[in-house]
A and B are shown apart, each in its own frame.
Chain A
Amino acid sequence: MSNNESPQKTTGLHIGKAEPGCKKNDPMLVIDHVKKTFGGLTAVDVEHLEIPKGAITALIGPNGAGKTTLFNLLTGFDNPDTGAWSFLGNSLSGIPSFKVAQMGQVRTFQLTKALSLLTVLDNMKLGAKDQAGESIWKALIPGFWKKQDKDIEVKALELLKRFKLEEKKADFAASLSGGQRKLLEMARALMTDPVLVMLDEPMAGVNPALTQSLLEHVLNLKKDGMTVLFVEHDMHMVRHIADWVVVMAEGKVVAEGPPDAVMKEQAVIDAYLGAHQDTDLGVVTGRIDTINEEKSK
């Protein structure tokens, strides 16, 4: 196992200076002027963003920065007020989510969506695309889908083995632990043969023992030629596996770059700690004075 080995980073992704909205050599997703407001709140307002192909891109930012909303917009789960975005050169504006998924862009959810009352194996088989038996007419005659279903099962079992879930295949997904559900969701996503995997907080609520294996699974996606875009709060993980980091704050992209460089940027520090981090809070709120007064009594 290569547990302590640092993963091979993909470099040379961008053209010119690494700044918000910079051009990429080989972009997979291109986002232009995407804006989404909820009432008076601007959740997402992205001028221009390109996600590089064949790399692991992390989307970070403080709570409420609009990361998940951007995810929902990109996958068709939510519609933006304005803007356009394209995936491998195909415009995705107004395309419903299931068609986006069919194009090879698969996502997972922040709150894991395991299909509780289906077996683990059925969960996996649902992921496979272009199943003849999923058409209502062909479903009635097993001759149309029996063979394909067997092939899908073989593929599902292989993936389950890789994700160490093969012993659970006959159990309901409801019986899995939180971390195992994360693994199942990721494995199920892989059943669709995606080109872009979008993971919404893959590490949230996962115990440290499982974190390492999840990290390797994410790295393996890149090894297998997939592009990964993930939202994460765990900076250690971001630094460890991401090739490129996009930082969002208040709906905007405030910084972009390779992980080590971007974490030192003033905009990122401001986004996480607040722009007024150097200001003495005591003066701002007047609390220090109050305490001093109390002391002097």
Chain B
Amino acid sequence: MDWGTIINNTLAGLLTPTTIAFALAALGLAMHFGFAGLLNFGIAGFMAIGAYGYAISVLTFGFPWWLGMIVGILGSIGFAILLGVPTLRLRGDYLAIVTIAAAEIARLLFLTTAFTDVTGSADGLFGYNKTGGFTEANPFPPGSYGFGPWTYNSETLWVIVFGLAVLAICVWLLWALMRSPWGRVIKGIREDEDAIRALGKNVFAYKLQALIIGGVFGGMGGIIYAAFANVSPGVYVTSITFFIWTSLLLGGAATIFGPVIGAVIFWTLQAFLSNILPELSSSGILPVDGTQAATLRFVLVGIGLMLLVIYRPQGIFGDKREMTFVK
């Protein structure tokens, strides 16, 4: 067993564009579920809309990269309104059903060959970072940066720095909102929306605002992910939604830093498992072949999620008294 490589790859998972992208999406979910109590199972859809919004507006409409990203954000706002207006008046579980369906519809629309010219169908989209000028906007000269497991070329470093800046803004935004009276109303809605209505607050408007803000965070996650990798419909599948849920619950649903730390832990753990499991199987310790060993980590994710929800529903950073699943 090559422990050096395993540890190196695991530590590298601490800070990658992927980790940042998923931290952003988990932050959006914290707004939705942790604070406003909205059961959104379509966060992958918000990411897809953000990513495709950016890529399509650059490739098809020739927008510069920053305008493309704004289009991605506007897209996720539109998606939130589209989902929210018909469902937010209903009970929470209906939103869960609608969001999971809508995310799948969005993904299948990007996958279908009917719009291949625009969406690239199953191949997805690539090259938009160069066309839109995102690569050119890189302030770091070419070369190797960092040390040990955290050695990046200038392109990756640019995405990481950009991603961290976006993440910092979003974390600040969530923190500033949740400490304010607005946040108090949102938390009150999570507890009992009829009580809030009886106190004269427009519950529907607040829920829609929360859905939009969380959706924008999710869309930003998709954009950061797209700034690093290609945009492909195979990424935004339902299992991604559940990875983000796991990250969120790991860190603590109703916390600010919980989802960020949760995403970091989750992706580090993923890196660790995807390295160690095939190693274990090739050295004969695990009685399965290499491919099975690689998928075994998803089984472990599922088990981990179950154990988490049962034994530590408040997550790592959550208030002990505050258990979202236990009412």
What's the interface size class on B, roughly?
20 to 34
Q: Which residues of B contact A126 (CB under 8 A)?
A: 184-185, 188, 196, 199, 201
A118-B188, A131-B181 known; A136 and B198 CB under 8 Å?
A: no
Q: B153 within 8 Å of A by Cβ?
A: no
With A77-B197, A106-B199, A126-B184: A139-B192 Cβ-Cβ less than 8 Å: no
Contact A113 B195, CB 8 Å, known A134-B182, A139-B177, A140-B180:
yes
B136 at the interface (CB under 8 A from A): no
Quick check: A125 and B184 within 8 Å, CB to CB?
yes
B135-189 at interface with A (beta carbon < 8 Å): 173, 176-177, 180-185, 187-188
Task: Collect the chain A residues with CB atoms within 8 Å of residue B199's CB.
Answer: 101, 106, 126-127, 188-189, 191-192
Q: Which of B177, B182, B192 is most buried by chain A, counting CB atoms within 10 A of its CB?
A: B182
- Please tell me if the beta carbons of B182 and A98 are within 8 angstroms of each other in the complex: no
* Distance (whole angstroms) from the CB of A104 to the closest CB of chain B: 9
B123 close to chain A: CB less than 8 A: no
Task: Report if B43 contacts A (CB, 8 A).
Answer: no
- B209-220 near A? 1/0 per residue, CB < 8 Å: 100000000000
Residues of chain A lying within 8 A (CB to CB) of residue B196: 115, 126
Residues of chain B contacted by A145 (CB below 8 angstroms)? 180-181
Determine whether the beta carbon of A122 is less than 8 Å from that of B184: yes
Tell me whether A102 is interfacial, beta carbon within 8 Å. Answer: yes
For B191, the closest partner residue in chain A by CB is A115
Complex-state Cα separation, A223 to B198, whole angstroms: 23
Q: A133-B181, A139-B183 are in contact. Are A107 and B191 (CB under 8 A)?
A: no
Tell me the A106-138 residues at the B interface (CB within 8 Å): 106-109, 113-118, 122-123, 125-127, 129, 131-136
Residues of B within 8 A of A99 (CB): 200
Contact call B187/A97, Cβ cutoff below 8 A: no
Contacts of A122 in B (CB 8 A): 184, 187-188
Assess whether A101 is in contact with B200, with CB atoms less than 8 Å apart.
Answer: yes
Chain B residues whose CB sits within 8 angstroms of the CB of A98 once the complex forms: 197, 200-203
* Alpha-carbon distance A176/B201, docked complex (angstroms): 24
Number of A-B contacts (CB under 8 A): 103
Q: Which of B184, B187, B197 contacts A101 (CB 8 A)?
A: B197
From A129, A174, A175, name the one whose CB has the most chain B CB atoms within 10 angstroms: A174
B184 touches A118 (CB 8 A): yes
Complex interface: chain B residues within 8 A of A75 (CB):
198
Chain A residue with Cβ nearest B173: A140
Please state if B200 and A133 are interface contacts (CB–CB under 8 Å).
Answer: no
B157 CB → nearest A CB, Å: 31
| Interface residue A142 (Cβ < 8 Å from any Cβ of B) | yes
| Contact of A172 with B by CB under 8 A | yes
With A133-B182, A134-B185 as contacts: A77 and B194 at CB distance below 8 Å: yes
B190 CB contacts on chain A under 8 angstroms = 117
Would A101 and B188 count as touching, CB distance under 8 A? no
Q: Tell whether B321 is near chain A: CB-to-CB under 8 Å.
A: yes
Assess whether A149 is interfacial by the CB under 8 Å rule. Answer: yes
Q: What separation, in Å, do the CA atoms of A191 and B177 have in the docked complex? A: 23
* Complex CA distance for A134 and B202, rounded to whole angstroms: 11
Name, among A109, A118, A129, A191, the residue most crowded by chain B CB atoms within 10 Å (CB to CB). A118
A79 to chain B, nearest CB (A): 13
Interface residue ranges of A198-256 to B (CB < 8 Å)? none
List of A residues within 8 angstroms of B289 by Cβ: none
Flag if A133 contacts B191 (CB, 8 Å): no
Give A262 to B173 CA distance when docked, in angstroms.
59
Does B322 lie at the interface of the complex (its beta carbon under 8 Å from any beta carbon of A)? yes
The answer to whether A109 and B197 touch across the interface, beta carbons within 8 angstroms, is no
> Which of A107, A109, A116, A125 is in CB contact (< 8 Å) with B181?
A125
Taken together as a complex, chains A and B put the C-alpha atoms of A108 and B181 apart, in Å, by 22
Chosen A-B contacts, 26 in total, with CB atoms closer than 8 Å, are A77-B194, A77-B198, A96-B202, A97-B197, A97-B198, A98-B197, A98-B201, A99-B200, A102-B200, A108-B198, A109-B194, A114-B195, A115-B187, A116-B191, A118-B187, A122-B188, A126-B188, A131-B181, A132-B181, A133-B180, A133-B181, A134-B181, A139-B176, A139-B182, A185-B195, A189-B199
A binding-site residues for B, Cβ under 8 Å? 75, 77, 96-99, 101-102, 106-109, 113-118, 122-123, 125-127, 129, 131-136, 139-140, 142, 145, 149, 172, 174-175, 185, 188-189, 191-192
The 10 A-B pairs of least Cβ separation, nearest first, read A133-B181, A101-B200, A139-B180, A139-B182, A113-B195, A115-B191, A102-B200, A134-B181, A113-B192, A131-B181
Starting from the known contacts A118-B188, A129-B200, 12 additional A-B residue pairs (CB-CB under 8 Å) come to: A75-B198, A97-B197, A97-B198, A101-B197, A106-B200, A108-B198, A109-B198, A118-B184, A134-B184, A140-B180, A145-B181, A192-B199
